[in-house]
Amino acid sequence: MIDGAMQPFALTLDKFLAHAAKWRPDAGVATARDDGRVEKIGYGELMARSRRVSAVLAGLGVSLGDKVATLAWNTQAHVEAWFAVMGMGSVCHTLNPRLTPEHLGAMAARSGARVLIFSADLADLARRIAQLVPQEVRLLAIDGPALEGAEALEPLIADAPDGFAWGEFPETAPCGLCFTSGTTGAPKGVTYTHRASYLHTLRALQADSMAITGADTVLAVVPMFHANAWGLPFATPAAGANLVLPGRNADGASLARLIRAEGVTIAVGVPTVWLGLLEHLEAEGGEVPSLKRIVVGGAPMPPALMERLERRLGVIVQTSWGMTELSPSGTVASAHDPVRSAGLSGRPAVGVDLMVADAEGRPLAQQRNIEGHLHVRGAAVVERYFGEAEPATNAEGWFATGDLARIDEAGNLAITGRAKDLIKSGGEWINPAEIEAVVSALPEVSLAAVIGRQDPKWGERPILLVELREPGASDAALLAPLEGKVASWWIPDEVVRLDAMPLAATGKIDKLRLRAEFGGVAT
């Protein structure tokens, strides 16, 4: 007797927009413009426009597997470009406008993209990238008019035919390409696939994760040009939720106005963004009553900020952990967890598995309540970087994240540092993250970083680099709080005051640059 069968159903990302267009045609995407206007489009019309963009790209010779680069802010036109590129089976290579032209040119040269869709206000950078790559690049401007050497996409959309057919390629086909920020090494390309990003999206819809529903309006402050904006442009149509995009303005006043105007219920971004919102509301007054939850990630969450947000705004703050290589979400703390804390990033959902190992990648005998090198495995985790022949995973399929972490008894993840940041002094390890956490908590400190400086006697010794809110704090005042909190030999040998801490393009402290400048033997 032959077995029966279930229907074929390819896990491709175009399904999300098709679902929203059919079942939530009135929900859609709202984009904040620089002049304060908010532009809106329903999912039905957005899909129709996006299919026309596919037709435009096909007309330019783009086909299955080809890379199309984008260099753009979070706007409707960027979302349309994403679905257009991915829906036709091409690969969206997102470029981060905060990187240098040289870095971006090197990335675009590697991807081989022959079309670059860019925000009109980034025209200079776009043209520079096009000059730096060996291939000929067609420039298409969005969110603005045609420019020298670049057509505007909008008139092409108007002329394009309707109903370009999406899908019809294997679910394992690549859909996206994003290079890591490279704060601790050379940027590596992560190739996202339809299947991986589809399964990653379903995680965002789970009640224990971001729990996005059709009743929600989600503000995505996390950029589409890095790590898929945490998958929100996929998860919102999949849930039938509204997506609110801030354009390039993420200051507190702009966000407060946008949250109120659109009735945002869930807001997603790095901690500093919400500090800006809080300080704006505290200075100017006003409320954001529609807001129920804030999802943070991408950097350590200061406990005091979490408490202030929850108390002042009446929201639940959900911490999270992820990285470019994870599509990018690893864990999200559940809003249903009665014991939430700024230092914990939640328990993994099914489809994500975590393990702590020693420096050689051997699993620790104890997996709970002990610090180790964090490894991850799962459906939306990198196996092999772009252009590499060798896997990025070990023989058991684990990917070494480079993070140090501790997992508590209940399975919650606490990131405790970066393995590459560790300082080896006299044969023993010093964890800069623990020192930084103490110094960063001082009111006079704006940003703090600890790096190892070469030392003839100890191999390496820690030094502290600080950007102060106002000058005046003595070395002793900055270091004294460390006593009793870290071992005495962990206390930095020197304090260096910087006018401005160097930041990488994703907003993280650029330790590569700090090490280059300050890591040599003291003279």
Which residues in the 301-330 window bind a copy of itself by CB under 8 A? 327
Catalytic residue among 324, 325, 416, 436: 325
DSSP 3-state of 151: strand
Is 330:376 a contact under the CB 8 Å cutoff?
yes
- The secondary structure of residue 509, as a DSSP letter, is B
363 binds a copy of itself (CB under 8 A): no
Nearer to a copy of itself by Cβ, of 149 and 402: the residue is 402
Residue 490 bears catalytic tag: no
Q: How far is the CB of 425 from a copy of itself (least distance, A)?
A: 36
Q: What is the nearest approach in angstroms of a copy of itself to the Cβ of residue 196?
A: 4
Count of beta carbons in the 10 Å neighbourhood of residue 343? 18
**How far from 32 is each of 27, 72, 444, CA to CA, in Å?**
16, 14, 34
Q: Contact with a copy of itself (CB under 8 A): which of 297, 348, 372, 417?
A: 348
Q: How many CA atoms lie within 13 A of 137 on its CB side?
A: 28
Catalytic one of 31, 180, 265, 416? 180
Site for a copy of itself in 422-481 (CB under 8 A): none
409 flagged as catalytic = no
Q: Which is nearer to a copy of itself, 48 or 278 (CB)?
A: 48
C-beta of 207 vs 370, nearer to a copy of itself: 207
CB of 81 to a copy of itself, least distance (A): 20
Interactions with a copy of itself, residue window 196-225 (CB under 8 A): 196, 199, 202, 205-208, 211-215
217 is catalytic: no
Number of residues that bind a copy of itself (CB under 8 A): 71
Among positions 228-257, residues that touch a copy of itself (CB under 8 A) are 238-240
Segment near a copy of itself (CB under 8 A); pick from 9-17, 34-42, 139-147, 422-430: 9-17
Length of the chain: 523
Does residue 383 belong to the site contacting a copy of itself (CB under 8 A)?
Answer: yes
β pairing state of 320-322 and 329-332: antiparallel
Should residue 165 be labelled a site residue for a copy of itself when binding is judged by CB under 8 A? no
Considering only 148-156, 391-399, 481-489, 493-501, which stretch makes contact with a copy of itself by CB under 8 A? Answer: 391-399
Helices (H), 60-135: 76-87, 101-111, 123-132
Indicate the burial class of 451 (C-beta count within 10 angstroms; 0-12, 13-18, 19 or more): buried
Q: Which of 274, 386, 458, 490 binds a copy of itself (CB under 8 A)?
A: 386
Q: Return the closest-CA partner of residue 230 out of 205, 263, 200.
A: 200
- The answer to whether 45 touches 53, Cβ cutoff 8 Å, is no
Q: Pick from 183, 191, 401, 425 the residue near a copy of itself by CB under 8 A.
A: 191
Exactly one of 39, 40, 420, 429 is catalytic; which is it?
429
Pairing of strands 413-418, 399-407: antiparallel
Query: H or E stretch including 234?
Result: helix 232-239
CB nearer a copy of itself, residue 413 or residue 465: 413
* Residue 151 is a binding residue for a copy of itself (CB under 8 A): no
Q: What is the Cα–Cα distance from 230 to 201, expressed in whole angstroms?
A: 9
Nearer to a copy of itself, 123 or 381 (CB): 381
Residue with tokens 């002042």: 312
Check if 429 is active-site: yes
Q: Does 110 bind a copy of itself (CB under 8 A)?
A: yes
Distance CA 219, CA 197 (A): 20
Residues 6+ apart with CB under 8 A from 3: none
Question: Catalytic residue numbers?
Answer: 180, 325, 424, 429
